[in-house]
Chains A and B, each alone.
Chain A
């Protein structure tokens, strides 16, 4: 890990979260925290509740019990757009891009909370509206350069190959300049070259912008390489929490994973 990275105070605290869907207990009394500037991985077998955990953090699922404290503010319920306003951005396990819009427009949607010019000025597209659009376009172009997706700038994302779509989705989340970035299996379904690229982007984002990242990933090699601390979930319960090395040696984790298939 790069020496100059600074890991700071707790930015997100997940406190005794329980979530169930009818009879299914997706999460049971799960607690952990995330520190500012770190890369935190969540791992676990299929159906362990990893995606549900991210959905709870960004307000998409409302847990029956427990509290979330983000940047010092505690909440039990919140709408997803409020989470966005507080600085949480995310990507999805099954890509959730705006398929009819170009790469550029998809990234520009990520800027919407920073855009303030009123409706009337936008309709006229004069002065402030034009300047605002251009300022944000410049920001988005930096992300486009960073992710090396210049060539598909104007292509509707529905036509892009899977790996590029994943990249665009990361770009859209980055465009929001989040304090906390939630990535749900950003490398799933990629070949090893694409995985390497994605790893590099994630590390660069974390290092250059200091963005705190919570990441779900099945590829153990990747997890061990890039994360600072790892949470292990199994059947909705927290199985282990610690550095990659600690987790790897944890007997409960070894038992849970014994016989489990990984890719």
Chain B
């Protein structure tokens, strides 16, 4: 019995409602955070930071956002890429328009812009559900891509149509632009993700999250006990798009450095949706697991064949990648809609009973 829950008797509701009521979980999360903040920047090389960890953080943020909307509030969206684009382009506009504004403030402001756009495109959700809503959010995706491509104001009339993160400092350290080191960008991304993930966890365990889940599970009953469907759904769109917007800003400023609208295309929307499905709908942890999985599989396919002395052509690798994702998505949708997070939970339950079979 390595992992114990039985035998722990909480004597107050405060203890029972704690973020991680089981001590071992608490220590585990603290240990992960300590490693992520203190050890990783010391040991990880440029390749790992730039090709694995930073994209993982960017996608974790986006997956968190989409999971709040789809996993918790039950509103499907294919507009993630579009909302990320809003965050990226608005941060660019704010950072270049107000060079003295702290860059983190620009991130958050553009998150608010994305939230407003999310609410706008969430309005159809008051009328339509499921497949039709997916199509409506797809329209948002295409419209936003088109707009950031076609309106030169958004990319400051640069002839190439690309936006490039300007150098900005935070507490005297360069955090964005070509001079910013991967370690610093990683740490800033990690901080944003840690803080916003905590906020998301707080929201979903309180009244707001219960309202979202109620609307998801049975909207009629939710209204009958007093949740206003309009408010609840639009709040989900706002919060979700805020997270996606910040993810977009992180993507441009902390990961890619410069980008075009292609970086926020429909492919990104699908990728984030896959993360949420594979990781686990309606689970904060699942958002991270899904993001890790989808960012790690390509890395694994690139490196594994070489380790055993084989070489794999790049296009074959891409095909295998798609097959793995496709197979897993079908598997999870049919067999385990709660994704990797649920498998993790089952593993914990097994661990709790170990070494007894029952």
Contact = CB atoms under 8 A, between A and B. Distances in A.
User: Is chain B a partner of chain A in the same complex?
Assistant: yes
A101 B214 CA distance: 8
A75 interface: no
Contacts of B222: 98, 109
A109 B211 contact: yes
Interface string A80-118: 110111000110100011111100010011111101010
Interface in A110-128: 110-113, 115, 117, 119, 122-125
B217 A130 contact: no
Interface stretch (A18-26, A131-139, A203-211, A229-237): A131-139
A42 B184 CA distance: 69
Contact of B210 (A89, A105, A137): A105
B202 A122 contact: yes
Contacts of A96: 218, 220-221, 224
A172 interface: yes
Interface residues of B, number: 31
Contacts of A58: 224
Interface string A169-197: 00011001000000000000000000000
B221 A97 contact: yes
Chain A interface mostly: helix
A129 interface: yes
A237 to B, nearest CB: 27
A173 B218 CA distance: 15
B210 A109 contact: yes
Given A109-B222, A123-B199, A81 B227 contact: yes
Interface in B185-231: 199, 202-203, 205-208, 210-211, 213-214, 216-218, 220-229
B232 to A, nearest CB: 10
A122 B225 contact: no
B225 A110 contact: yes
Contacts of B202: 122-125, 129
A60 interface: yes
Nearest to A122: B206
A79 interface: yes
Contact of B214 (A92, A98, A122, A137): A98
B221 A92 contact: yes
Contact of B13 (A100, A110, A119, A134): A134
A112 B227 contact: yes
Contacts of B282: 100
A138 B225 contact: no
A33 interface: no
A141 interface: yes
Nearest to B199: A123
B224 A98 contact: no
A110 B214 CA distance: 10
Contacts of A129: 202, 206
B17 interface: yes
Residue of A96, A112, A129, A173 with most chain B CB atoms under a 10 A cut-off: A112
A176 B207 CA distance: 14
Interface string A45-88: 00000000000001010000000000000000001110111000
B17 A98 contact: no
Nearest to B282: A100
Interface in B6-57: 13-14, 16-17, 19
Interface residues of A, number: 41
A108 to B, nearest CB: 6
A100 B217 contact: yes
A88 to B, nearest CB: 9
B200 to A, nearest CB: 8
Given A119-B235, A130-B14, A137-B17, A79 B223 contact: yes
B119 to A, nearest CB: 14
Given A98-B221, A115-B207, A119-B208, A109 B13 contact: no
A105 B222 CA distance: 13
B304 to A, nearest CB: 37
B203 A123 contact: yes
A177 to B, nearest CB: 12
Nearest to B208: A122
A112 B211 contact: yes
Contacts of A98: 213-214, 216-218, 221-222
Contacts of B14: 130, 134
A112 B17 contact: no
Residue of A100, A133, A176 with most chain B CB atoms under a 10 A cut-off: A100
Residue of A96, A113, A130, A173 with most chain B CB atoms under a 10 A cut-off: A96
Contacts of A84: 223-226
Interface of A: 58, 60, 79-81, 83-85, 89-90, 92, 96-101, 105, 108-113, 115, 117, 119, 122-125, 129-130, 133-134, 137-138, 141, 172-173, 176
Interface of B: 13-14, 16-17, 19, 199, 202-203, 205-208, 210-211, 213-214, 216-218, 220-229, 235, 282
30 contacts: A60-B224, A80-B223, A83-B224, A84-B224, A84-B226, A85-B226, A89-B225, A96-B218, A96-B220, A97-B221, A98-B222, A99-B218, A100-B216, A100-B282, A101-B210, A101-B217, A105-B210, A109-B214, A109-B222, A109-B225, A112-B207, A112-B211, A112-B226, A113-B226, A125-B19, A133-B206, A134-B13, A137-B17, A172-B225, A176-B225
